[in-house]
Amino acid sequence: MLKIPFLACFIAFSGLVSAQRVVTLPDCVKLAAEQNLSLRQNAAGVELADKAANQSRLLLLPNLNAGTSYFWNFGYTVDPVTNLPLANNFQANSYQLTAGLNLFSGGNVANTILKSRVDMEVAKMNYQANIENVQFQVIAAYLAVMFAEEQLKVADQKIATTEAQLSDTRKLVMAGAAPEGNVLAIEAQLAQDQLTQIQAQNQVNQTYLDLKLLIQADPNENIQVQYPDVSRFDMVLYAPVPSAQDVIDYAVTHRASIQVFDLQLQSDAYARKIAGAPAYPVLSMFGQLSTNYSSASYPQFGIEALPFNEQIDNNLSEVVGISLQIPLFNNGQVMMSRQNADLQILNTQLNREIAINNLRKTVTQAVNDVIAAQASYNAAQKSFTASESAFDFAEKKFKAGTASAFEYTNALNARAQSQSLLVQAKYDLIFKSKIIDYYLDKPIDF
């Protein structure tokens, strides 16, 4: 009878295990780049900029337009065909086909095309900068999950140790070899450990939720991060720290968040040329083909209007010409446009300097943080080793009856605290090392 429930439980457990998706750091980075909503908006912006660049190139082509009109005339008016005054009512319609080609407009068309190309590169660079920002957020979220899970393991291990000691102490009390107060003290410690475990589990759940939101995964999906090999962790923990100036020099030259300003300055320079284009003459070529019909157009000594087809053929008009527009005064609009363009260039230059200064500050701080984190990690290792030895000694004394329950729990808490600090120091060092890798465009992995 027990076989069916056991089989059902086994199948259900197998289904839960198979439903769990294991993700690596590169997986999360790729998913975030593909699914992140803000990045998808940026991708649409790049596509719009590309279409704008294609549209600007079409300005080199001539324009061609066709038009027609049909109207009724009542009372005294002028016949559009014969140009004679008429007092009777009549109907008329006309047809036009016009074409125009810009020959010269102060470089407005050429500079518009060049600016649109640079604007497309600006959009791409902004997109790349946002990708880098999302990648950095994913690294932080991924490491936060691993740190939270390590803290949960510490809490679980502490509960296991306390439960084992509680069982041994109860045996000693029943045998009369230890006071009953020792049991109460360890039970209180176990309750505190269980509370810590609950808090650690909640933190694990929260960090997983943050990671799922970044990669646009279903919040209810069961995912599990994959831990790298210990050897790869050691490579990160004990990697040499590059100099701050080397990192700054590389980042200023290669980071998209800085390069975008260089491209924006090129776009601003073209915008200034476009702003000054109205001060130059405009030379264009145009052509027109037109004809019309009037119900009041009669042949000599005729009593009926000329046929439609005959009038259309007889009234055909063709015009080809060149137009030159020379600006003499434009209310100071060109001057103001140029000044505004100059201010935009200055603003972009200042923003670039601000971004570089912030980069120098951030990178210098990051390098100093890595050096400090390495020292903290080494100190935490020594502290944990010492607290572990102290706990082993206190545990032996407690079992021998030469140490109180307070001394034992105090040593237990000290070991757990030092272990927690060691885990924290390890992930703090890894995260700060990844900040340096981020600025050096190293692969997003351990």
Q: What pLDDT was estimated at residue 233?
A: 67
Q: Is residue 17 part of a domain?
A: no
Q: 3-class DSSP state for residue 211?
A: helix
Quote the pLDDT of residue 283: 93
Q: Is residue 7 part of a domain?
A: no
Joined tokens for residue 117 = 């190309």
Same domain, 322 and 174: no
Provide the domain count of the chain.
2
Residues 400, 403, 406, 411, CA torsion sign? negative
Q: Are residues 181 and 299 in the same domain?
A: no
Provide the pLDDT for residue 70. 87
- The DSSP secondary-structure symbol of 446 reads -
Residues 230 and 294 in one domain: no
| CA-CA-CA-CA torsion sign (197, 198, 200, 205) | positive
Question: Minimal CA–CA distance to 102: which of 291, 307, 288, 322?
Answer: 322
| 274 and 170 in a common domain | yes
Residues 268-306: b if buried by 16+ CB within 10 A, e if exposed: bbbbbbbbbbeebebbbeeeeeebbbbbbbeeeeeeebb
Q: Which residue has the higher pLDDT, 14 or 226?
A: 226
- 283 vs 412 pLDDT, higher one: 283
pLDDT in tens, 170-222: 887 887 777 888 888 888 988 998 999 999 999 999 999 999 988 888 889 89
Q: What pTM value is reported for the model?
A: 0.73
Q: Which of 32-41, 260-269, 343-352, 366-375 bottoms out in mean pLDDT, i.e. has the lowest?
A: 32-41
CA distance 432 to 374: 10
pLDDT digits (tens, 9 = 90+) for 274-285: 999 989 999 999
The boundaries of the domain holding residue 376 are 23-61+105-280+329-439
Read off the CATH number of the domain in which 153 is found. Answer: 1.20.1600.10
Residues 298, 220 share a domain? no
Instruction: Look at residue 436 in the predicted model and tell me its pLDDT.
Output: 87
Predicted pLDDT at 263: 94
Residue 33 forms part of a structural domain = yes
More confident residue, 14 or 128: 128
Residue 374 placed within a domain: yes
Asked if 273 and 314 sit in the same domain, the reply is no
Report pLDDT for 185.
85
Selected residue with higher pLDDT from 21 and 402? 21
Average pLDDT of the residues in 353-360: 94
Integer Cα distance of 95 and 92 in angstroms: 11
Q: Hey, what are 312's tokens?
A: 């259309």
Residue 146: the pLDDT is 83
Kindly state whether residues 111 and 97 are assigned to the same domain. no
Cα 68 vs. chain centroid, distance in angstroms?
Answer: 51
Cα–Cα distance list, 120 to 50, 53, 56, 427 (Å): 6, 7, 12, 39
